[in-house]
């Protein structure tokens, strides 16, 4: 028995189509890991005495941790399995509401555009992706240009 590709090919997406991912709770362990991996030791994320003096009054998880986790959550839909070739652009990424420790987030996506690219192997899809917390508040907006395989290229 061989691996069966679950992802959607370029032809199978429709403009206007929507999806939601599963949810993940953001922990201090996630946040500390990300600081270490990225090397971004900004005191907002690492120094509680400094962070007490900011608007949130406490350390926050790195905004890019939340963003990367949302990319992982999109995998849980299986729609991108083996068919996502490149995350070409992330545009208009707006950090509108801070995600705090122990918040639970998910991503909500919608197909805005499909561009054929005149390439037999792949096309470009523009997704609107919002990251939403447990209160239903939009925390991060984004427009993601993904290169997705075309079915005729698949063997």
Partner 1 sequence: MGGNECPGKYFEDWQEGDKYVTTGRTITTTDIEIYTNNMGDYNPLYNDEEFAKKEVYGTRIVPELLIHAISAGQISQTQLFQGTMLGWVKIDIDFFNSVKPGDTIITKGEYIGKRETEKREQGVLDFFVEVMNQRGEIIMKSNQSITALKKNV
The DSSP letter of residue 58 is S
What would the two tokens of residue 40 be? Answer: 């971004």
**Would you count residue 31 as binding partner 1 (CB under 8 A)?**
no
Handedness of CA 30, 36, 70, 44 (dihedral sign): positive
| Burial class of residue 70, CB neighbours in 10 A (0-12, 13-18, 19+) | buried
Q: Which is nearer to partner 1, 90 or 110 (CB)?
A: 90
- Give the C-alpha separation, 27 to 33, whole Å: 10
Among 9, 10, 24, 125, binds partner 1 (CB under 8 A): 24
Contact criterion met (CB below 8 Å) for 8 and 122: no
Which CB, 16 or 98, lies closer to partner 1? 98
How many residues touch partner 1 under the rule CB under 8 A: the total is 44
Write the interaction track for partner 1 spanning residues 62-101; mark x where CB under 8 A is met and - where it is not.
Answer: xxx--xxx-xxx-xx---x-x-xxxxxxxxxxxx--x---
Given the rule CB under 8 A, which residues bind partner 1?
Answer: 24, 30, 33-34, 37-44, 47, 49-50, 54-55, 62-64, 67-69, 71-73, 75-76, 80, 82, 84-95, 98, 121
């Amino acid at each position: 028995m061989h691996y069966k590709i679950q992802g959607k090919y370029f032809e199978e997406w429709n403009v206007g189509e929507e999806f939601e991912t599963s949810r993940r709770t953001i922990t201090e362990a996630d946040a500390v890991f990300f600081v270490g991996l990225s090397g971004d030791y900004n005191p907002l994320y690492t120094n509680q005495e400094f962070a007490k003096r900011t608007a949130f009054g406490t350390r926050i998880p790195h905004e890019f941790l939340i963003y990367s986790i949302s990319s992982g959550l999109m995998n849980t839909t299986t729609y991108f399995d083996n068919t996502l070739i490149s995350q070409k652009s992330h545009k208009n990424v707006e950090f509108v509401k801070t995600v705090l420790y122990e918040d639970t987030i998910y991503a909500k996506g919608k197909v805005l555009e499909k561009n054929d690219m005149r390439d037999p192997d792949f096309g470009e899809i523009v997704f609107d992706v919002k990251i939403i917390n447990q209160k239903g508040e939009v925390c991060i907006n984004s427009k993601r240009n993904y290169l997705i395989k075309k079915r005729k290229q698949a063997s």
